[in-house]
Amino acid sequence: MDFQIVQKIDGDLDAVEAALVDPAFLVRMTELPKLGSAEVINQERDGDVVRQQVRYLFEADLSGAVTKVVDPKLLTWVEDSTCDLASHRTTCKILPDHYQDLLSARFDAEMTADGGQTIRTISGSLKVKILLVGGRVERSILGGLEENAVAQAALLAAWIAAK
């Protein structure tokens, strides 16, 4: 399933980008819906390029159909991203720690300045390989991503305002 999510973030472009590669902000992602933990496991910077890996834990109620196939305690993944601060573009792969054969996902994000706001456009693809319920799970994950995008925009705005 291909998707696109557009975030409108109160804050200038440089401040938004700085927050998205700030380990102190990244661990605050646990404040977003359905995320139980966030851990920066690696971050390297080479000029304007930041490569980082952040491990997340999904934490929410799942249907009985889903829990027959997956253990909720094992729903962790690494977001492996490369952020080019000069071009304002990020590429990201989602690397499940478990169930690699059931989920594949990747996205690209591009940011543009819009007055005192930043517009972040996230385009990607998501594939869940579970017979009969894969499409339903994809739609559920996408709904969670959209919910988190709204919450993340608010979290970013509050972080930037407090700086």
- State pLDDT tens for residues 120-160: 999 999 998 877 778 887 887 888 889 999 999 999 999 99
The DSSP bridge partners found for residue 80 are 53, 93
Q: Report phi then psi at 50, rounded to 5.
A: -120, 120
Q: Which domain holds residue 81?
A: 2-162
Helix axes 134-162, 13-20, angle to 10 degrees: 120
CATH at residue 36: 3.30.530.20
Q: What is the number of domains present in the chain?
A: 1
pTM over 0.85, yes/no: yes
What whole-number distance in Å separates Cα of residue 103 and Cα of residue 88?
Answer: 27
**Residues of the chain predicted below pLDDT 50:** none
